[in-house]
């Protein structure tokens, strides 16, 4: 167990915002996590806490977070069972997601190769139901284990119980109640042809082995999405809007040629990046934070940005898109603060069906 007071978090958030935690604790198993919960959340009645992964999908709003920051060091990757066709793998919540995808591809196991290059840890990825190029983590998840903070019991949820949806899982509703410990994914051991995402058709042969598909995905991502190593960012800042048929008809009256995709619930998904571009905001800057020239969904730290600078830029994007198209953008990032304001773009859950 690692326990630190007044611990700097700049290395623990990819937007590179300056912040520190009054108390930072890293644990390696359920026993240590149990102790932390009983000592700090129960005995000392700690009111402010949050669980941090790699920090690739958060905005740390406080220069000093007056509370407890938890981090998982449960990083196991092991085979739970195998059949002739499939392999079931246990992944600790603190394991690097992309390291796992590399591990799977190197063993020629199919199922996660389209999710290559996504930063973050496995627990955060299942929390967000990450997705890319026509695939989502929900497609391979078998179960997720959580620790209930109130009862200290470990619970295993099936895929159906996780209530996965576009960039959503039940864990977002239970953020102050459950802590993700590990998950199990099922991968295919034999080559199979999966539908190829339209954007990938000119780059990828669906019969290719997963390692080759992974390399193609990484090449494409690096061409389109700015690396947080080159400039602080939290990846896609906004979700792609899911519109009702009525909203979609109204949008077509304003912009008839916008790309779209109809999901299995009949909702119309439109690219938020295109809406932002049509508003003339690609490359826009407030001096501290900019809309990336590479990808309009990404906000970039120009060097010494503070959380308020991020908020100002996000509000500008949110308001401009709404004023032109009447469409609300919902954030992919989570805004972390002991005193959160109700920013319109910080609503993480859009459950319209």
Cα-flanking dihedrals φ and ψ of residue 46, to 5°?
A: -65, 120
What the block records as the tokens of 236 is: 């896609």
40 three-class SS: helix
Length reported for the chain: 353
- Sequence-distant contacts of 162-165: CB under 8 A, at least 24 apart: 162/126, 162/138, 164/129, 164/136, 164/138, 165/129, 165/351
* Half-sphere exposure for 151 (CA within 13 Å, toward CB): 7
Nearest to 237 by CA among 345, 134, 137, 338: 345
Cα separation, 10 vs 237, whole angstroms: 19
What the block records as the tokens of 173 is: 């509703």
Cα separation, 122 vs 111, whole angstroms: 15
Cα separation, 65 vs 174, whole angstroms: 21
**Which residues is 88 bridged to in the sheet?**
81, 186
Q: Is 167 designated active site? A: yes
**Which residues is 245 bridged to in the sheet?**
none
Q: Is 332 designated active site? A: yes
Of 167, 182, 186, 274, which residue is the catalytic one? 167
Nearest to 278 by CA among 327, 341, 348, 325: 325
Q: Is 351 designated active site? A: no
What the block records as the tokens of 310 is: 């991020």
For 176-203, give one letter per residue: b (16+ CB within 10 A) or e: eebbbbbbbbbbbbeeeeeebeeebeee
Q: How many CB atoms lie within 10 A of CB 320?
A: 18
What the block records as the tokens of 313 is: 């830029």
Of 216, 236, 292, 331, which residue is the catalytic one? 236
Of 20, 26, 145, 332, which residue is the catalytic one? 332
**What is the 3 state secondary structure string of 17-76?**
CCCEEEEEEEECCHHHHHHHHHHHHHHCCCCCEEECCCCCCEEECCCEEEEEEEEECCCC
Active site positions, annotated: 167, 236, 332
């Amino acid at each position: 167990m690692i326990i630190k007071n007044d611990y700097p978090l700049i290395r623990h958030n990819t937007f590179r915002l300056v912040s520190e935690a009054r108390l930072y604790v890293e644990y390696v198993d359920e026993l240590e996590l149990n102790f932390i919960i009983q000592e700090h959340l129960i005995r000392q009645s700690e009111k402010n806490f949050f669980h941090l992964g790699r920090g690739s999908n958060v905005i740390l709003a406080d220069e000093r977070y007056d509370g407890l920051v938890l981090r998982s060091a449960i990083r196991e990757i092991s085979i739970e069972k195998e059949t002739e066709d499939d392999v079931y793998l246990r992944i600790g919540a603190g394991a690097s997601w992309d390291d796992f995808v590399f591990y799977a591809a190197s063993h020629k196991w199919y199922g996660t190769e389209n999710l290559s290059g996504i930063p973050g840890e496995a627990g955060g990825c299942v929390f967000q139901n990450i997705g890319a190029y026509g695939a989502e983590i929900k497609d391979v998840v078998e179960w997720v284990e959580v620790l209930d903070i109130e009862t200290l019991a470990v619970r295993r949820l099936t895929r159906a119980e996780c209530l996965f949806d576009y960039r959503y899982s039940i864990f977002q509703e239970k953020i102050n109640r459950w802590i993700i410990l590990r998950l199990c994914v099922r991968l295919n051991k034999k080559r199979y042809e999966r539908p190829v995402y339209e954007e990938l058709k000119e780059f990828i042969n669906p019969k290719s082995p997963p390692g080759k598909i992974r390399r193609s995905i990484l090449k494409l991502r690096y061409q389109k999405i700015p690396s947080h190593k080159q400039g602080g960012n939290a990846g896609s800042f906004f979700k792609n809007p899911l519109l009702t048929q009525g909203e979609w008809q109204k949008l077509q009256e304003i912009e008839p040629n916008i790309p779209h995709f109809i999901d299995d619930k009949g909702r119309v998904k439109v690219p938020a990046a295109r809406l932002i571009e049509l508003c003339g905001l690609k490359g826009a800057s407030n001096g501290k934070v900019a809309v990336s020239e590479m990808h309009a969904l990404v906000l970039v730290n120009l060097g010494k940005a503070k959380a308020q600078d991020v908020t100002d830029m996000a509000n500008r994007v949110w308001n401009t898109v709404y004023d032109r198209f009447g469409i609300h953008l919902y954030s992919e990032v989570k805004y972390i603060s002991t005193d959160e304001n109700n920013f319109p773009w910080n609503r993480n859950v859009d459950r319209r069906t």
